[in-house]
Structure 1
Amino acid sequence: MIATLQCTVIDCPDPTALATFYRGILGWELDAEDPSWVTLTAPNGTRIAFQEVPFHRPPRWPDPEHPQQFHLDFDVPTRADVERAHEEVVALGASFLHDSGGQRSGFRVFADPAGHPFCLCYGQTLGPAGAQ
């Protein structure tokens, strides 16, 4: 092993706003002491950081001219749970982009308020190939 992962960093125009959005999904602890570098920390120590980029150009999934660069996958247990989660992430500010349509397993793609795609996945153990 060469190193361990410190955190995942997401570029965005407003770190506090985007971290607050993801806090609404994950419930992790928010540290916004420095508004240009805001972090969320899970109980197990996993961290996501949000870095201010004033001229951020958001991806436009699935447009290859504006690639997604990365995406986050969030697990929900069942398709019924994804219905509830869908409404909750939209209420937090997400935009719905795509539904894979699976009955027992699948995913829904959303854009966060800064335009980054993320997926709500259900009934599977790996991320959806369609959102890669």
Structure 2
Amino acid sequence: MALAKLGVVVLDCPDPGALARFYAEVLGGTVGREDDDWVELSVPEGQTLAFQRAAGHTPPQWPRADHNGQQLHLDFDAGSTWAEIDAAHEKVLALGARPLDLEDREKKDFQVYADPAGHPFCLCRIEHG
């Protein structure tokens, strides 16, 4: 029996509203509870994401061999074809993401980006069967 249930995934950032809007465009969903320091995004058929203002936010570094940089990343199913991934790639770039690793995508089935606050996320090619 579980001791607890996962409630919300929270990302620290300098501007919670802006980051919530970025992820709303990427994932869909509805921005719910919102104030200066905290914004929640309800994602269709998914986990609630929240964005918390963090003074002096320092984005994680990806990749870091010493494990002092990246602590977490999000994986997004962006389709089963490279055409779908390419379309998602263009859209996340237009929204303010920046590429971190686009190498060997056919071998890895994913591409790595940083959101506007610097958090790593992946667009993954998932074969649906």
TM-score after normalising by structure 1: 0.85
Aligned partner of 2:101 in structure 1 is: 98
- Offset from partner CA, 1:29-49 (integer Å, 9 cap, x none): 112531210000123463110
Count of aligned positions:
125
Check whether the contact 2:16–2:51 (CA below 8 A) recurs between aligned residues.
yes
Aligned partner of 1:39 in structure 2 is: 40
Of 71, 74, 87, which aligns to 1:72?
74
Check whether the contact 1:94–1:111 (CA below 8 A) recurs between aligned residues.
yes
Aligned partner of 1:4 in structure 2 is: 5
Aligned partner of 1:24 in structure 2 is: 25
**Runs of 4+ that moved beyond 6 A:** none
Identity %: 49
- Offset from partner CA, 1:89-109 (integer Å, 9 cap, x none): 000000011124243861000
Aligned partner of 2:84 in structure 1 is: 81
> What's the C-alpha RMSD, in Å, of the aligned pairs?
2.0
Larger mean CA deviation between 93-102 and 113-122 belongs to: 93-102
Secondary structure at the aligned position of 2:100 is classed as strand
TM-score after normalising by structure 2: 0.87
- Whole-angstrom distance in 2 between the partners of 1:15 and 1:93: 15
